Amino acid sequence: MFRYALFVLAGGVLLGAAPAVSKGRTFDGHPDLSGIWQSMSTANWDLQDHPAQPGPYFQLGAVGAIPSGRGVVEGGEIPYNPKALKQKQANFKNRWKDDPEVKCYMAGIPRATYMPYPFQIVQTPRAILMSYEYASSNRVINMESKQVEASVDTWMGTSNGRWDGDTLVIDTTGFNDESWFDRAGDFHSDQLHVVERFTLMDADHMNYLATIEDPQTFTRPWKISLTLYRDVDKNAQLTEFKCVEFAEELLYGDVRKKTK
Amino acid sequence: MKTRLPVLALTLAFGSLASAQTAANYNPPKTAWGDPDLQGVYTTDDLNGVPLQRPEKFGTRQYLTEQELADRQKEVDQLHSTIDTGNRPTTGFWASVKGAGVDAAAAPAQWIEYARHATRLSSLVVDPPNGRIPALTPDGEKRRAAQPQYYNMRPASWEDLGSYDRCITRGVTGSFFPSIYGNGSQIFQAPGMVAIRYEMIHETRIIPLDGSAHTGPGLRSYMGDPRGHWEGNTLVVETTNFIGGKVDVGGVPYSEDLKLTERFTRMDDNIIDYKVTVDDPKTFTAPWTVEFPIRHEPGYQIFEYACHEGNHAMHNRLSAARALDRKEAAGKGAQAEQTQANPK
């Protein structure tokens, strides 16, 4: 961090034409979102209000149970259309089998933002990298004025970003229909369109607001809002969570050779 | 689509890529905070066709002659034309799988990447001077012989297949060395760090430049723990803390003692020289080094490689193996019945 101070004190003289940098801002003048972030909410369990509940295996006792939590949906309820609501209820019933997270599948957006694993933002003027510890997934947000079009459907979507004052606005389309929003069966179609707003509240707290639009699934757009907390530990870093090996037995166990 | 070789190629004949760069006194652009700027999207597509180890006929010769290069360009053009004509290729990678008991035609031509510009390198390995990987230790040899086979026709479980087929990881070198697809990489820089995102199974490495120590030996990972620093215009990355025995380099599962030292040097607006030294005394009797250029190719796009999510092959291969098991068991059962009915 003292590199910034040198520039400010010397008025840029030390590196010739290098511009002075304000605290917490990048060289191109935007809030610096780079760092390691994580939500403290239980949104990944359930986007809506949820009480504490037993988990699927009594053998794990309290370790395998579901915590309570306040929902992050503005207005409280996700506005499913009647057909989609039935699907959500079926998803919930079969969630220990059907939740893509159980299979170590990529989380999609916005779920990757509030997984119980940190993610790291690397901010550059032309592209912003978000590297998620969960399943070693990532996405790159194009920050150039020329938009990138989604040429194929993907798990993490195709993201274009821009600055709206001090708010990073990310517009993402090109999703497949395979990810869920949480472990409670909340889902979407491939018509999903997400607009996210990342705003630093102070150096170590970021407000995250996501507008979710999917005319095939919901009767209107709806929003989620939560806080992201910076990991301020000395030498904070992402560690690795490659979960494929933890999902192989459940995915392929039926075709493993039985040993007598 | 033929492209003239860059002038740089002529200077390559006289030494390693990085020393050619010093000789040319190329001054790379710098980031706003003064680090050499390596940023951009790159591909190793052009390295397709270059073998990892140097065929013995080349001896210590690192580069192709003009005639050899022209022959390689011809093969590259032929492979490239299959994308337009739709003819399935029978050279290169597909020639190597013929006769390996694989009863399959080549995949549709546009599923495979080919070189756009033929490369002058005789091999990717540049040290030892003969371009061949040093001998294995006895331990390394054991691991090489016991590793899961790509063409295992009767896997009992996913554990009989390798980390590539299981979509776990290709490791650091496997994510970066040229392959038939997924050859893209993207470098990002922020003060005090470099991040590299790989197209091959969407790996990301975040490399701190702050001089901090590696994590302790109790924390191991597939992609290891990287730490970087600048030596002049070269980014040097040292990576340790690997999980051993599960992922291979040079065709052998490496041990947890593996240490990779990589060097990234910008050569011109479009090319970065990449050099990696593989040092694993439990597996290889000496360190060995791979060096090749990665190229910024206008219009090249990195796509999401949802390997595990789309891994239908795993279930298909295992269920096919079980069907064969049942067929054999039924056959044996019928034979056994026959023997019982007609004892000799």
Q: With a CB-CB cutoff of 8 Å, which residues 99-118 of chain A face chain B?
A: 100, 104-106
| Residue closest to B33 by CA, chosen among B189, B223, B236, B198 | B189
Verify whether the Cβ–Cβ distance A256 to B32 is below 8 Å. no
- pLDDT value of position B116: 82
- Model confidence band, residue B16 (pLDDT cutoffs 50, 70, 90): very low
Closest by Cβ to B189, choosing from A124, A137, A240 = A124
Is residue A224 within 8 Å of A194, Cβ to Cβ? no
The b/e string for A120-135 (b: 16+ C-beta within 10 A; e otherwise) is bbbbbeebbbbbbbbb
Verify whether the Cβ–Cβ distance B188 to A237 is below 8 Å. no
B333 pLDDT exceeds 80?
no
Same domain for A197 and A124, yes or no, is yes
Same domain for A129 and A203, yes or no, is yes
Q: Enumerate residues 6+ apart whose C-beta is below 8 A from B239.
A: B172, B223, B224, B225, B226, B227, B259, B260, B261, B262
Who wins on pLDDT, B294 or B77?
B294
Who wins on pLDDT, B309 or B151?
B309
| Stated pTM of the model | 0.89
In a domain, B200, yes or no: yes
B34 pLDDT exceeds 80?
yes
Q: Side-chain half-sphere of A139: how many Cα atoms within 13 Å?
A: 26
Chain A residues touching B214 at Cβ < 8 A: none
- State which residues form the domain around B136: 8-58+123-305
Same domain for A21 and A59, yes or no, is no
Is residue A52 within 8 Å of A65, Cβ to Cβ? yes
Is residue A101 within 8 Å of A183, Cβ to Cβ? yes
What's the number of domains chain A is made of?
2
Verify whether the Cβ–Cβ distance A240 to B195 is below 8 Å. no
pLDDT in tens, B208-257: 999 999 999 999 999 999 999 999 999 999 999 999 999 999 999 999 99
Quote the CA–CA distance of B62 and B51 in Å, as a whole number.
Answer: 12
* CB neighbourhood size of A195 (10 A): 16
Stated as kind and residue range, the H or E segment containing B81 is helix B66-85
Stated as kind and residue range, the H or E segment containing B41 is strand B40-43
Same domain for A101 and A25, yes or no, is no
- Model confidence band, residue A7 (pLDDT cutoffs 50, 70, 90): very low
pLDDT in tens, A84-94: 999 999 999 99
Quote the CA–CA distance of B135 and A67 in Å, as a whole number.
Answer: 55
In a domain, B103, yes or no: no
- pLDDT value of position B59: 95
Tokens of A30: 């935007």
Q: Side-chain half-sphere of B115: how many Cα atoms within 13 Å?
A: 26
| Residue closest to A132 by CA, chosen among A179, A74, A79 | A179
Between vectors from CA A186 to CA A88 and to CA A182, what angle results, nearest 5°? 145
Closest by Cβ to B206, choosing from A104, A131, A152 = A131
In a domain, A216, yes or no: yes
Who wins on pLDDT, B117 or B154?
B154
Same domain for A143 and A120, yes or no, is yes
Q: Determine the average pLDDT of the residues in B175-186.
A: 93
Count how many pairs of residues, chain A against chain B, have C-beta atoms within 8 Å.
114
* CB neighbourhood size of B60 (10 A): 10
pLDDT in tens, A169-227: 999 999 999 999 999 999 999 999 999 999 999 999 999 999 999 999 999 999 999 99
In a domain, B18, yes or no: yes
Best of A23, A129, A154 to mutate (most B CBs within 10 Å, chain B): A129
Verify whether the Cβ–Cβ distance A105 to B308 is below 8 Å. yes
Summary mean pLDDT of chain A: 93
Chain A residues touching B202 at Cβ < 8 A: 136-138
Q: How far is A75 from chain B (nearest CA, A)?
A: 34
Same domain for A14 and A51, yes or no, is no
Instruction: Please give the residue of chain B at the shortest CA–CA distance from A244.
Output: B168
In a domain, B114, yes or no: no
Closest by Cβ to A129, choosing from B32, B192, B197 = B197
Is residue A169 within 8 Å of A162, Cβ to Cβ? yes
Verify whether the Cβ–Cβ distance B34 to A15 is below 8 Å. yes
- Model confidence band, residue B76 (pLDDT cutoffs 50, 70, 90): confident
Same domain for A93 and A6, yes or no, is no
What's the number of domains chain B is made of?
1
Quote the CA–CA distance of B164 and B149 in Å, as a whole number.
Answer: 11
Residue linked to tokens 């006792």 = A61
Q: How far is B197 from chain A (nearest CA, A)?
A: 8
In a domain, A260, yes or no: no
A116 vs A42, A183, B129, B302, CA distance in Å? 8, 12, 49, 27
Same domain for A80 and A172, yes or no, is yes
Is residue B184 within 8 Å of A204, Cβ to Cβ? no
Q: SS3 of B290, please?
A: strand
CATH number of the domain that residue A69 is part of = 2.40.128.20
Same domain for A7 and A42, yes or no, is no
Instruction: Please give the residue of chain A at the shortest CA–CA distance from B156.
Output: A257
- pLDDT value of position B15: 37
- pLDDT value of position B279: 98
Q: Enumerate residues 6+ apart whose C-beta is below 8 A from A20.
A: A7, A8, A11, A12
Pairing between β-strand B234-240 and β-strand A193-202 as defined by DSSP bridges? unpaired
Same domain for A90 and A208, yes or no, is yes
Q: Which is it for the CA torsion B138, B139, B144, B148, positive or negative?
A: positive
- pLDDT value of position A14: 40
End-to-end CA distance of chain A: 62
In a domain, A161, yes or no: yes
Tokens of B261: 């030292």
Same domain for A9 and A78, yes or no, is no
In the chain, the amino acid numbered B51 is: P
Same domain for A5 and A118, yes or no, is no
Is ipTM > 0.85 here?
yes
- State which residues form the domain around A41: 31-255
A113 vs A44, A137, A154, A228, A232, CA distance in Å? 9, 11, 17, 9, 18
Quote the CA–CA distance of B166 and A32 in Å, as a whole number.
Answer: 38
Q: How far is A41 from chain B (nearest CA, A)?
A: 25
In a domain, B129, yes or no: yes
A13 vs A18, B131, B192, B302, CA distance in Å? 8, 48, 21, 39
Q: How far is A68 from chain B (nearest CA, A)?
A: 30
Instruction: Please give the residue of chain A at the shortest CA–CA distance from B168.
Output: A244
Q: How far is B194 from chain A (nearest CA, A)?
A: 9
In a domain, B136, yes or no: yes
Closest by Cβ to A154, choosing from B192, B304, B322 = B304
